[in-house]
Amino acid sequence: MKTVLLTLSLAFCSCLSARSQELKLTENNIDEVLKAMTLEEKATLIVGETNGYWSQEPIIGKTESLIPGVAGTTQGIKRLGITQMALADGPAGLRVSTHRKNDSKTYYTTGIPVGTNLACSWNTELLESVGKIIGNEVHEYGVDVILSPAVNIMRSPLCGRNFEYYSEDPFLTGKIAAAFINGVQSNGVGTSIKHFAANNQETNRNNNDAIVSQRALREIYLKGFEIAIKESRPWTVMASYNRINGPYTQESRELLTTILRDEWGFEGLVMTDWIGQRNTAAQVHAGNDLMEPGSQKQTDEIIARVKSGELSETEVDVCVRRMLELIVKTPHFKNYVYSNTPDLKAHAQLARKAASEGIVLLKNYNETLPLPLTKKNIALFGVTSYKYIAGGTGSGDMDRAYVVGLTDGLINAGFDISKKTSDLYNSYFEFRKAQEQNGRAPELAVSRDFINRRAEDSDVAVITIGRNGGEGSDRRIEDNFNLASEELDLIDNVTEAFHIKGKQVIVILNVFGVVETASWKGLPDAILCAWQGGQEGGNAVADILAGKENPSGKLSMTFPISCYDHPSTLNFPLSNNNSRGRSNRDEVQNVDYTLYNEGIYVGYRYFTSAQKEVSYPFGFGLSYTQFAYSNAKLKSTKDGFIVSVSIKNIGDKAGKEIVQLYATAPSGSLNKPAMELKSFAKTKMLQPGEIQIVSLEVKNYDLASYDESSQAWVTDKGTYTLHIGASVSDIRQEISYTLAKSESVKCNDVLKPTRKLDELKIGK
């Protein structure tokens, strides 16, 4: 009898193990696989595979195991057919190792313009196309999820990572991000929209507590994420390093579950930004499904906390399920045989187009631009003219196969560059090299005599002002937001000398963020804000200078007269004092915590409400042609309205116009900004005389403000004035919309400020 039982039970066991050996993850058996997983396996799956990433210097992209150079990989579980995933940066193009061990091939990807440059195109179709080529490269290089787009709001022009970000306005941010994500994900690969949320300064970013009112959070800092998430369903969201109103965002259930999932309906996965170990149990409890870059200690912590009862296995299961749901969608899971040979040539063409569409023409006195072919010989001033900047630094940087600088771009377009000027700068660079002076060269003080001679023997002068920086530190006002005295002298001297000879001067801003312009913009004849255009940046600028492309970008942020005009400057770390590593110290304002006292009055919401003059307003940008606006009409829809407006090219060159719709709300119980962007559209290329009727759709929900007293989005009844224009301060048509009954959408009373705010209120 015993023998029979033993035989039977042995047979049963081997049958079980055979069954589980056969059990392999498919799209349809997630529940079953989850059930078959041990606690150890679960805790392994939701922690990234460090693989030395953090143990070396904190340089992005050390993971070698799956695809060299990616920022992170997840761990697979072979017995259950659970594959690994490769997660790679970033916003300026896919970041993988271009040169690999024992391999003579190269693995370059396309260096696209930085986020700000892309956003200033205001062209969602273009963003979708850019997303498509990036997604194709992600797919063809064997990556599963790209850690992009970065959509934090430009609360202050001083934030070091603004170049990765899109705008000071959440609506524009959300629409641009949605288009990009839709483009990328159409390839069957994922995105990670980041950094969720309020990562608006780099100073002490790992610990800074953003103290923000619930209203400002909802309307400004979360809105862009809300729009993008609802309109494009990114596969993943990356929780930022900082805290909001107390807890770390990565440990905030109110943020990651109540708002993100319960209110917005997000069904994807949340991963941490690359922090290393924090309170892993709190992260799991919050709804943070994947810890990156991951360490064994975190896996051990999860196991221990579950065993001690501090963390429930059901909560771990929620994260595991989301991991499995994501994994089954990935190319690695589908065994996609990637080629490593995307069509980089074709992609470069689009990168060039995208860079030029986001260039903003700020000034064009007397039609200086485009440069006629008779003005071929350019005296090129400024160190950045010769050391052109393709993109910012940190994880939003990448290894480009080449960078077309300004000199190459101008030569490609058929211009001649004054040899005497380029010789001068080249000998300056040689001198610095001989002295072993590394880093970006400070501006060269060029003698007035030299400039006078160039004003004689050149046709026109171009001066480039450059700014670079990035992840990990913020900008200073002096010599960074403001121009350095050498730069101002250069602009002064060159414009004076060339103007005496009746010759023109063009300033190009090759910058990663807003710079002061008010004090010197009267001097040059033309100013072009070229941002950082990626690998084709120099060609893109030359296309505009030569008139091959008609500029059609507009500012996605305000250029104030002084940096101090932004109310956020009062509460921003101006000295870039990280004060990390100091123990037992008192908390430092703007370092340990930052009071968002300006509330909803960020960017143009402040300038239009306070009626404060700016240097260049939000939404501003010139073209080589002009557009007339007429015949604005409004048609109600079941949940809002559509405004149509007729745009006519009344100049003599083909061009595109960005049409913006701002709303002024009726007065009600809440303090409201004077103007808020509610819709925009970019026309197609309009030939001279051609007309396009543009449609601008707005939903009642889009008009709502967040009312803290009822914890609801409330669209007040009454009459809204709709301003349709070429920028926030160039309104061409007005029309009104009347809502008969107030509407409201109830939300949860979460993320309350933990410190007292003294919020700015304008108007009431």
- Active site members: 273
Residue closer to ligand BGC by CB (options 288, 715) is: 288
Residue closer to ligand BGC by CB (options 470, 753) is: 470
Q: Give me the least distance between CB of 406 and ligand BGC, in Å please.
A: 28
Any idea which residue has 């063409």 for tokens?
349
Residue 9: Cβ within 10 Å count: 10
Q: Which two tokens stand for residue 457?
A: 């023997």
Separation of alpha carbons 367 and 386, rounded Å: 26
Cis peptide bond N-terminal to 90, omega within 30: yes
- 557 and 514 in contact (C-beta within 8 Å)? yes
Closest CA to 598 of 567, 636, 641, 639: 567
Q: Give me the least distance between CB of 87 and ligand BGC, in Å please.
A: 8
Separation of alpha carbons 686 and 36, rounded Å: 61
Residue closer to ligand BGC by CB (options 90, 603) is: 90
- CA count, 13 A, side-chain hemisphere, 456: 7
Q: Give me the least distance between CB of 477 and ligand BGC, in Å please.
A: 24
Q: Give me the least distance between CB of 199 and ligand BGC, in Å please.
A: 8
Confirm or reject binding of residue 202 to ligand BGC (CB under 6 A).
no
Strand segments (E) across 38-106: 72-73, 86-88
Q: Give me the least distance between CB of 190 and ligand BGC, in Å please.
A: 13
- CA count, 13 A, side-chain hemisphere, 735: 19
Q: Is the dihedral of CA 489, 493, 499, 500 positive or negative?
A: positive
User: Is residue 691 exposed (0-12), middle (13-18) or buried (19+ Cβ within 10 Å)?
Assistant: middle
Residue closer to ligand BGC by CB (options 71, 228) is: 71
Confirm or reject binding of residue 274 to ligand BGC (CB under 6 A).
yes
Question: Under rule CB under 6 A, which residues in 25-84 are in contact with ligand BGC?
Answer: 60, 71
Q: Give me the least distance between CB of 566 and ligand BGC, in Å please.
A: 24
Residue closer to ligand BGC by CB (options 29, 206) is: 206
Residue closer to ligand BGC by CB (options 89, 219) is: 89
Q: Is the dihedral of CA 112, 116, 117, 122 positive or negative?
A: positive
Strand segments (E) across 68-163: 72-73, 86-88, 145-146
- 578 and 604 in contact (C-beta within 8 Å)? no
H-helix segments, 245-295: 253, 280-286
Separation of alpha carbons 107 and 342, rounded Å: 10
Q: 569-582 b/e with 16+ CB inside 10 Å = b?
A: bebbbbebebeeee
Q: What is the phi-psi region of residue 477: left when phi exceeds 0, alpha when psi lies from -120 to 50, beta otherwise?
A: alpha
Residue at 513: amino acid letter: G
Residue closer to ligand BGC by CB (options 62, 285) is: 62
Question: Which strand ranges, in their side-by-side order, compose the sheet holding 360-364?
Answer: 360-364, 526-529, 504-510, 460-466, 377-381, 416-417
**What string marks each residue from 294 to 333 as x (binds ligand BGC by CB under 6 A) or -?**
----------------------------------------
Residue closer to ligand BGC by CB (options 274, 386) is: 274
Separation of alpha carbons 144 and 645, rounded Å: 42
Separation of alpha carbons 727 and 169, rounded Å: 13
Separation of alpha carbons 164 and 541, rounded Å: 20
**What string marks each residue from 577 to 616 as x (binds ligand BGC by CB under 6 A) or -?**
----------------------------------------
- 197 and 229 in contact (C-beta within 8 Å)? no
Question: Total binding residues for ligand BGC by CB under 6 A?
Answer: 10
Residue closer to ligand BGC by CB (options 274, 572) is: 274
Confirm or reject binding of residue 89 to ligand BGC (CB under 6 A).
yes
Question: Under rule CB under 6 A, which residues in 143-182 are in contact with ligand BGC?
Answer: 147
Separation of alpha carbons 717 and 131, rounded Å: 39
Separation of alpha carbons 617 and 604, rounded Å: 7
- 685 and 353 in contact (C-beta within 8 Å)? no
Confirm or reject binding of residue 413 to ligand BGC (CB under 6 A).
no
Residue closer to ligand BGC by CB (options 470, 560) is: 470
Q: Give me the least distance between CB of 747 and ligand BGC, in Å please.
A: 28
Q: Give me the least distance between CB of 682 and ligand BGC, in Å please.
A: 28
Separation of alpha carbons 738 and 721, rounded Å: 9
Q: Give me the least distance between CB of 227 and ligand BGC, in Å please.
A: 20
> How, if at all, do strands 559-560 and 614-616 pair?
antiparallel
Residue closer to ligand BGC by CB (options 270, 694) is: 270
Residue closer to ligand BGC by CB (options 199, 700) is: 199
Q: Is the dihedral of CA 152, 156, 160, 165 positive or negative?
A: positive
- 322 and 286 in contact (C-beta within 8 Å)? no
Longest CA pairwise span in the chain (Å) = 114
Q: Give me the least distance between CB of 189 and ligand BGC, in Å please.
A: 16
Mapping DSSP to helix (H, G, I), strand (E, B) and coil, where does residue 571 land? helix
Question: Under rule CB under 6 A, which residues in 425-464 are in contact with ligand BGC?
Answer: none
Q: Give me the least distance between CB of 186 and ligand BGC, in Å please.
A: 22
Confirm or reject binding of residue 395 to ligand BGC (CB under 6 A).
yes
Separation of alpha carbons 684 and 693, rounded Å: 11
Residue closer to ligand BGC by CB (options 274, 596) is: 274
Q: Which two tokens stand for residue 408?
A: 């190459």
Q: Give me the least distance between CB of 48 and ligand BGC, in Å please.
A: 10
Q: Give me the least distance between CB of 250 and ligand BGC, in Å please.
A: 12
User: Is residue 163 exposed (0-12), middle (13-18) or buried (19+ Cβ within 10 Å)?
Assistant: buried
Residues found near ligand BGC in the complex (CB under 6 A): 60, 71, 89-90, 147, 194-195, 273-274, 395
